[in-house]
Amino acid sequence: MKKTAGYTLIELSIALVILGIVIMLVWRFVGFNTQYATSNAERGILQSADAALTGFALSNNRMPCPDTTGDGIEDSCATGTGAAVGRLPNVTIGLSQATANQIRYGVYRGASAPMISDADLAVASDRMPMLATTGNPLAGYDLFRTQRNGIDFCVGLRNGSNKALNTNLLHVVSPEGNFNVAYALAIAGTTNADGAGSLLDANNASNSPAFEAPSRVTSANYDDRVVAVGFDRLLGRLNCNETLAAVTHAHANAATAAEMMRQSMRDYKIQLDWIAKLAEANYAGAIAGVALAAAAVSLGAAEIALAIAESLVTLGAQAPAIALAIAAEVAAAIAVVSASINVALALDAWNEAKANVARFLSEGYVTRSATLATEFRANANAADAAGTY
């Protein structure tokens, strides 16, 4: 009897085991590919969101406010009372991916007064007061508090960087410690890894302005992905440090120096006027001195005549008085000559002082310095209006 070929029970068992292994490997491979694709998609949308936020800051001199209603548009932008955490306002920042609105977004809102120390990054505020000087006499005041631009946003970032840790404001939680950041993004993994009822895990799911650190690794109870941008990192992206170093001092200081030059020219003109007045007064005094000396000559002549008369009456007893009167007359004559010389010198000094005033005015120093100061101040205003970017 011929036997029919086929699989034995052992062979069939081995085949089933091999098939099971292959199925498991295929399932693992598909799962890995799916997870890898999901991870890449998450990374890509976070990068797009991060770039869009930087672009928004460049264009609007602030960060967008969170979306608290789910329509993709920023809400709650009121200074000091606006929300710091919500959804990413993808419509506001021009991010087309619909899933972008599912990203959790937080922004640092450290409002404070005076405005020079403010760090509410979601509000465009004029934080850069450049000291300008003007007036006669010279006075100092905030002239350039008129623009809201990238310079002011950079100042807000610098203010936030200099503030102490405040966990009531946007911050990142890490094993190394908590630290405030300019803004943060969190996108949920595919599963509710921590089993807390939300796809977002741990601090990413909280109502507080807290995010997990971007460095936290994926585990059995955590599969979110986070991007957190610190103040210094954003300062570097926007080239704030170089710009602030120049803008804070250069234009405003030049305008101040020009204004001080204008004041110096005014003061110098006043000094020249006073010198001319003193020269005029000295000339008048010299003329008065001539008059007094002439009067002394006349008085001396009268005294000589009186001494001669007394000498005749006293038969020569008063002869010495004649000599004294003659000596006084000689002294008075010398005083007239000296006073006349003083008049000539005083007149020369007065004429020279008037010439100096006229020459100073003809050169136009006051007008030219005023024009220069006005132009410098206009340039400083223009620099402030132009902003950092």
pLDDT of residue 29: 58
* 39 CB-near residues (< 8 Å, 6+ apart): 225
pLDDT confidence bin for 110, thresholds 50/70/90: very high
pLDDT of 103 over the 90 cut: yes
**Percent of all residues in the chain with a pLDDT value above 90, rounded to a whole number:** 32
pLDDT of 168 over the 60 cut: yes
307-326: average pLDDT = 59
Bigger pLDDT: 254 vs 40: 254
pLDDT 10s digits, 319-345: 565 566 566 666 656 666 776 777 777
pLDDT of residue 280: 80
pLDDT of residue 311: 59
- Residue position matching structure tokens 């003329």: 287
* 253 CB-near residues (< 8 Å, 6+ apart): none
pLDDT of residue 113: 85
pLDDT 10s digits, 36-82: 444 666 788 999 999 999 999 999 999 999 999 999 999 978 876 78
Arch. (CATH architecture) of 253-386: Orthogonal Bundle (1.10)
* 62 CB-near residues (< 8 Å, 6+ apart): 121, 122, 123, 124, 153
Strand 183-187 and strand 179-180: pairing? unpaired
CA–CA distance, 326 with 336 (Å, rounded to integer): 15
pLDDT of residue 182: 98
206-232: average pLDDT = 93
CA–CA distance, 270 with 278 (Å, rounded to integer): 12
Where are the chain's structural domains?
10-240, 253-386
Which 8-state DSSP code applies to residue 103? S
pLDDT confidence bin for 139, thresholds 50/70/90: low
194-212 as b/e: b if 16+ CB within 10 A:
beeeebbbbbbbbeebbbb
How many C-beta neighbours within 10 Å does residue 261 have? 17
pLDDT of residue 34: 47
pLDDT 10s digits, 15-40: 677 777 777 766 665 554 445 444 66
- Output the average pLDDT for the chain: 78
- pTM for this predicted structure: 0.62
Quote the distance between the C-alpha of residue 277 and its chain's center: 46
318-336 as b/e: b if 16+ CB within 10 A:
beebbeebeebbeebeebb
